Structure 1
Amino acid sequence: MSDLKVAVLGVGVMGADHVARITSRISGARVVVVNDYITEKAEQIASQIEGCRAVIDPLDAIADPDVDAVVLATPGTTHEKQLLACLEHRKPVMCEKPLTTDVSTSLEIVRREAELGRPLIQVGFMRRFDDEYMRLKALIDGGELGQPLLMHCIHRNPSVPGYFDSSLIVKDSLVHEVDVTRFLFGEEIASVQIVRPGSNPGAPEGVVDPQIAILRTVSGRHVDVELFVTTGVAYEVRTEVVGEHGSAMIGLDVGLIRKSAPGTWGGQITPGFRERFGRAYDKEIQRWVDAVQGGDTTGNYVDGPTAWDGYAAAAVCAAGVESLESGLPVDVHLAERP
């Protein structure tokens, strides 16, 4: 089978990582087109890859007859138009979150895809491909913990970009725990509440950080999430599920533990998301490539989170932003699934 010819739109941090990933670590695919609003950056990356070229207009890149599939790593505000173009040209697309930046356009993308009668959109919730999350999912589904009752999550960053505001902590950070909750428990989230403890003096002025999110699923399961994105320490993501017969935790970074004089004990904390989830990104893209390669016979070009998952996460986060302002629990309302 010939290699899948991929266009990568947006070659900033994530997009450049995906280009390197597909070029050096993924089998069955190659990057033939790159695009970025900074044309010089796209041209520089294209020049380093044999058979790759830079295309100035992202819609031209999607329509390019030499492109079989698309990776979207562009800003979320551009996703709606670019996803619609992918659907128009019937091209499978791996879209980094968010699906779109608001609930109504996310739902419209879901409906437009459903009209085609085949799934073409996969959303980049990479934690579903992480070894630890996959083991935790298998443990829950296997029944060893009995009925899962509670989940406690921690999401900490050493810092965030200067454009981050309080609502982005919900939409860009909490969104991962939203998808994790839906993935691990296999049900939708019914309500969300954002609690505002005292803010970190080191946070940018006006930014509410940390935040505590309280999620309740449709069956009444409780999930609490500590969101603290300006710790100045390191990248920490932990998840503990408590069930009727026990509990299980992932994300402890238990590598080498050392003891030395004078009475010190410890190891290292993961410095960033690349180190923590690098293998998950590799597996995510490899499984997407494999699904697209097999899509001609199966009719399914997705092996992971779907457009519906992107829409559901957007709906929960929109309720979370509303709760951030009021401090009260806000119900999540989902449309009927096409």
Structure 2
Amino acid sequence: MTQRDPLGIAVIGTGRMGADHVRRIQQLTSGARVTAVVDVDAERAKAVAALADGCTVHTDPAAAMASADVDAVLVASPGPAHEAALLAAFAHDFPVLCEKPLTPDAASAARVMEAEVSLGRRRVQVGFMRRYDAEYMKLKSPLETGQLGRPLMLHNRHRNAAGPPWFTSDMLISDSVAHETDVTRWLLGHEITAVTVLRPRPSANAPDDLQDPQFVVFETDGGAIVDVEMFVNCGFGYQVQAEVVCERGTARIGDGHAMVTHMAGRWGGTIAQDFTERFADAYDREIQAWVDATRRGEVTGPSVWDGYAAAAVCEAGVRSLEEGGRVEVDLVDRPALYRG
């Protein structure tokens, strides 16, 4: 591949996220094209492949990675399938963008990390797209410059209009609070050392067996306290907010006041209804950044270490949810590959 050639990408998984990424790469991303798609559902894969001229269809990731026109891999399959796909990509020395979670648990994430470390260089960017969101990037700026002083607390709200019927209480942590886990580590530059999950009275809008909402408290090695309100059946829309409280001031994002209307004796705005609407621009920037870095021969963005740390924190959160009380996060030593 030369600098002028488009990056040939194999997209593994053609569900909602995979199909949206195929559309994004073909229509919005410069310097790349989708050359192969993979899904166990061949008919679904064929329908998504129709978005990309000349795209081949596979039901086996190994077959797609053996294609001569594949230069990189985007993993958007369900989390339990990620480890095998990542190890196969390592065997081809392909750069990878892996949607979160890196893997569903800390043990499998550690195996992926060990495999990448054995390569001697990073190959994976993990898809924590909030790092590419314009509002989160603005929130990060005063924390990097130190103009607000040391961060003391971080308040997060994460609300969905309605959760999917297959969502479980554990998934509120492992699938949803996983995002706050990563942005906490990224914004503050701290590791999360302990998790406590509190169980408010469940909403009448939640299924009978779902603990919704949940209130999650993180402790960090920098002495900050972080809280997350996780509410997946709030009923009114999709809402993500964050406020950092520092020694000399505060900064807040997510109020959604880009446009306010006044008419018929009322004022107001609109609320996004799902994450693909709220974070559309972030996904666009994330994919373009990955493509640009890959074409330069680099790997940037959230690392396998970040994916591993998120998995370990979420495991501690699930334990706290199920057993009650404070649960400490047990991390292995950070390999040199992910320092600095």
| Cα distance in 2 between the residues matched to 1:251 and 1:228 | 16
Correspondence for 2:303: 306
Query: Using the alignment, how far apart are the partners of 1:63 and 1:237 within structure 2?
Result: 40
Q: Is the 8 A contact 1:121 1:306 kept in 2?
A: yes
Greater CA drift, 124-133 or 134-143 = 134-143
Take 2:331 and 2:201, find their aligned partners in 1: how far apart are those partners?
Answer: 32
- Output the CA distance in 1 between the equivalents of 2:151 and 2:51: 49
Q: Does 1:173 align with 2:162?
A: no
Structure 2 residue 183 is matched with structure 1 residue 186: no
1:195 corresponds in structure 2 to: 198
- Structure 2 residue aligned with 1:336, among 330, 333, 336? 333
Q: Select 2:226's aligned residue among 223, 247, 261.
A: 223
Q: Which moved more, 1:142-151 or 1:23-32?
A: 142-151
Following the alignment from structure 1 to structure 2, what is the Cα–Cα distance between the partners of residues 128 and 118?
22
Is the contact made by 1:79 and 1:99 (CA closer than 8 Å) also made in structure 2?
Answer: yes
Could you tell me how far 1:264 is from its partner in structure 2? 2.3
Residue 101 in structure 1 maps to residue 98 in structure 2:
no
Which moves more between the two structures, 190-199 or 43-52?
A: 43-52
Q: 1-side partners of 2:244 and 2:145: how far apart?
A: 14
| Cα distance in 1, alignment partners of residues 48 and 271 from structure 2 | 31
| TM-score normalised by length of structure 1 | 0.96
Match of 2:249 among 239, 246, 250: 246
| Pair 1:112 & 2:115 matched | yes
Q: Helix, strand or coil for the counterpart of 2:279?
A: helix
Q: CA deviation at 1:266?
A: 1.2
Following superposition, the deviation at residue 35 of structure 1 comes to 1.1
Aligned partner of 1:52 in structure 2 is 55
Instruction: Identify which of 251, 255, 270 aligns with 1:268.
Output: 270
CA contact (8 A) 1:110 1:308 kept: yes
Aligned mates of 2:260, 2:193 — CA distance in 1 = 41
Q: Distance in 2 between matches of 1:197 and 1:234?
A: 20
Q: Distance in 2 between matches of 1:150 and 1:117?
A: 37
Match of 1:65 in 2: 68
Which one of the candidate residues 313, 318, 324 is aligned to 2:315? 318
Secondary structure, aligned partner of 2:116: helix
| Superposed CA RMSD | 1.0
**Residues in 1 aligned to 2:99 and 2:14: alpha-carbon distance in whole angstroms:** 12
Question: Identity percentage over the alignment?
Answer: 50
How far the C-alpha of 1:205 sits from its partner, in A, is 1.7
TM-score (norm 2): 0.96
Does the 8 A contact of 1:212 with 1:225 survive in 2?
yes
The equivalent of 1:210 in structure 2 is 213
Whole-angstrom CA distance in 1 between matches of 2:126 and 2:307: 6
Aligned ranges for residues 74-85 of structure 1 at < 5 Å?
A: 74-85=77-88
How many angstroms does 1:64 deviate by?
Answer: 2.3
User: Does the residue aligned with 1:65 lie in a helix, a strand or coil?
Assistant: coil
Provide structure 1 residue ranges, at least 5 long, that are not aligned to the other structure: none
Give structure 1 regions of 4+ aligned residues with deviation exceeding 4 angstroms: none
Contact 2:26 2:51 in 1 (8 A): no
What is the alpha-carbon distance in structure 2 between the residues aligned to residue 105 and residue 156 of structure 1? 29
Out of 16-25 and 62-71, give the one that drifted further: 62-71
CA distance in structure 2 between the aligned counterparts of 1:42 and 1:219, rounded to whole angstroms: 46
Cα distance in 2 for partners of 1:307, 1:58 equals 20
Please state how far the C-alpha of 1:169 moved relative to its aligned partner.
Answer: 0.2
Q: Which residue of 1 aligns with 2:338?
A: none
Shift of 1:45: 2.0
Task: Please tell me whether the aligned partners of residues 23 and 51 of structure 2 are also in contact (alpha carbons under 8 angstroms).
Answer: no
Question: Deviation string for 1:84-114 (max 9, x for gaps)?
Answer: 1011111111000111111111001011101
Measured in 1, the distance between the counterparts of 2:217 and 2:50 equals 48
1:285 corresponds to which of 287, 294, 309: 287
Aligned-pair CA distance for 1:234:
0.1
| Distance of 2:27 and 2:115 partners within structure 1 | 34
Distance 2:148 2:71 in 1: 43
Aligned residues: 332
Contact preservation (8 Å) 1:196, 1:327: no
* Structure 2 residues without counterparts, runs of 5 or longer: 336-340
Task: Tell me how far apart the structure 1 counterparts of residues 263 and 71 of structure 2 sit (CA, whole Å).
Answer: 55
CA 1:268–1:48: 2 relative to 1, 3 Å: closer
Match of 2:16 in 1: 13
- Cα contact 2:195–2:219 (8 A) shared by 1: yes
